[in-house]
Amino acid sequence: VDRKSGSWGGSVESTIEGFADAAINLYSDSDLWTEAVNAGQSVLSTDFRESSWTSVVEALHEATKNRTKRRSTDFTSGMLWHHTARSTEYFSKWIECKETRNERTK
């Protein structure tokens, strides 16, 4: 079991068997369960307190209000959308040519 005590309320496992064993141990051992619950509550109270999310919500609202301007200045996103659309177009043309060629060879 690769578990950092007190860091969070769970266990990190690299195999299915290890995961199952850790889950069984956690469920069976009331002291371990209590420790995990306390660690989880600590993480929630420090990392996910409401005051932390205020700035995130404000940033999302601001981004939503100005999305047209943000999108027009986001070169990378525009380039990716353009090339995605072009790739789809050329892929559909390739399929069409392939099907046409297969029909002619029958």
Q: What's the pLDDT tens digit per position in 57-73?
A: 888 898 899 888 888 88
| Pairwise pLDDT comparison (106 vs 71), residue with the higher score | 71
- HSE at residue 83, side-chain half, CA atoms within 13 A, is 6
The structure tokens listed for 52 are 């932390």
Asked if residue 95 has pLDDT above 50, the reply is yes
Return d(Cα 8, Cα 18) in angstroms, integer: 18
**DSSP of 21-40:** HHHHHHHH-HHHHHHHHHHH
Say how far residue 13 (Cα) sits from the centre of its chain.
19
pLDDT category of residue 56 using cuts at 50, 70 and 90: confident
Report the predicted TM-score, pTM, of the whole model to 2 decimal places. Answer: 0.43
